Structure 1
Amino acid sequence: MKIANVLFLLPLLALSSCALSEDLSPLPHGKTVKIAVVKPADIDILPMDVIYRSEKCRDKIFTSTGAITSRAGYHLLTVPFNPEKGNNIVSNNIALDGGGQCEWKLSNIKFDFQYHNMQKFGGGVKKNIPGDIVFVFDKNAPPRGDGNYDDVCGVIEIQKNYYPLIRRKNTDEDVLILSVQGQPMLTYRVHEANSIVFIPVFHSDMVVNATPPKNKGDGYTLSYPNGEKIIDHRFSNSEKMKYDFVKQKSH
């Protein structure tokens, strides 16, 4: 009976923790990927969430049925962007090989960007919701998204247009919420790249206002800078969020 109990516990002990040190230890002159952003003057580029994964040091997880399984261990770092001299670019170099006894490998990088001063859009704006972008370097699931990627490789330069959306929280409140709008859910799978440049173009003067319905189920009213108004019953997850007016200005 004692032998059986010990044998039963062995897989649990193997999954519960890694006997190796989980510290990162990238090689001083190892291969890196440079993440750079051409920073607009009125935009804050927030620090990167950098995730490394290890097949050697795996994490124990429980399935929905209560069974025990494992997945690649992960190590999260918060890495700031550094301003470059003589230009408006912020950047940092990220090690592809995290090293250490767990043999960490770069899995994905995510960072947010938002308006620096939300009060420029009115004193009633009380919340500032950022946009984000994700770069995936392996086959593990990214921190958000549905698993769909745009594949990129070589010299990577990504330019996207954005505009401010101001949403009134409720019809009987003066609380306004500012958010960055553009192409949603930017997720890229990176192949063989040593530099990535992200160029967000912000059209801060092209404000779209979203007003909630007075009666439940009537849909939001979206007011565009060209005077057009539409009723959107699926806001904010809707295909009616048109970006054509931004594209026309940017060409």
Structure 2
Amino acid sequence: MFNQSKLLLLSLVLFSSSGCSISINVNKKLSPPADTKWVNIEVRNSSQYTKPFPLEVRYISYECKKKRISGFDGSVITEPSYNVIGIPMQQVSGDTWKAKVAKTGGGSCKWTLSAVNLGIEYIDAIHLGKGLVPGTAVGVALAFDNDASRNGKYRSVQGDLKLSPKYYPYITE
């Protein structure tokens, strides 16, 4: 009898808490239209010990909204959906890597480009010392709309953007 009560109570808790999440299946399939504009990403990687990591590309849709319940007051909040995909960088010559990103992702949700993260990571640290293991990658985030740049840490650029930062290893013991 006691085990049945536990099971009934557990079932009741699980059943009642399942209503806290509002889920709508969003079609995340991209199909850029033929006339879409493209963003060409090029990374020059002059070190044999590093390589560009795959682009993290975020698209946003104002057509296919998602709903969530506010933890503050329990109200239902409707907001845009996001679609994050990885795009591998392709090595086109010794130290040059490239990728193309569609500005309009299309599809039934009318995905549009919101942000791109790119950068490099160490693949081998042997040249820096014995027994060292590569750590985290370094990179840059590019915002393509007001949603991605809402934290105010971006500057506006028109046309081509050329970044040429120098990265130095940081060794911790």
Give me the TM-score of the superposition, normalised by structure 2: 0.77
CA displacement 1:74-129 (0-9 Å, x = unmatched): 111110111224x5211111100000111000010012312231122222323422
| 102 and 139 in structure 1: CA distance in 2 versus 1, 3 angstrom threshold | same
Q: Which amino acid aligns with 1:83?
A: Q
User: Does the 8 A contact of 1:83 with 1:90 survive in 2?
Assistant: yes
The yes-or-no answer on 1:97 pairing with 2:104 is: yes
Tell me how far apart the structure 2 counterparts of residues 108 and 72 of structure 1 sit (CA, whole Å).
14
**1:68 Cα deviation from its structure 2 partner:** 1.6
Greater RCO between the two (CA within 8 Å, min separation 6)? 2
Quote how far apart the aligned CAs of 1:146 are: 4.4
Residue of structure 2 in register with 1:49 after alignment: 56
- Which of 33, 38, 42 is residue 36 of structure 1 equivalent to? 42
The answer to whether structure 1 residue 71 and structure 2 residue 71 are counterparts is: no
The answer on whether the counterparts of 1:32 and 1:95 sit within 8 Å (CA) in structure 2 is yes
Q: Does 1:159 align with 2:167?
A: no
Count of equivalent residues: 151
Give the letter for the 1:113 counterpart. Answer: I
2:116 corresponding residue in structure 1? 109
The one-letter amino acid of 2:46's match is P
Partner-residue secondary structure (3-state), 2:170: strand
Q: Any runs of at least 4 consecutive aligned residues in structure 1 with deviations exceeding 6 A, and if so which?
A: none
Unaligned stretches of 5+ residues in structure 1: 1-11, 169-251
Structure 1 counterpart of 2:57, one-letter code? V
1:152 counterpart letter in structure 2:
V
Could you say what secondary structure the match of 2:127 adopts?
A: helix
TM-score where L is the length of structure 1: 0.55
Cα RMSD over matched residues?
2.3
Q: Is the 8 A contact 1:118 1:128 kept in 2?
A: no
Higher strand share: 1
Which residue of the other structure, out of 121, 127, 130, is the alignment partner of 1:120? 127
The residue identity in structure 2 corresponding to 1:120 is H
Q: Distance in 2 between matches of 1:127 and 1:90?
A: 21
Assess, with a 3 A threshold, how the Cα gap between structure 1 residues 99 and 157 changes in structure 2: closer, same or farther.
same
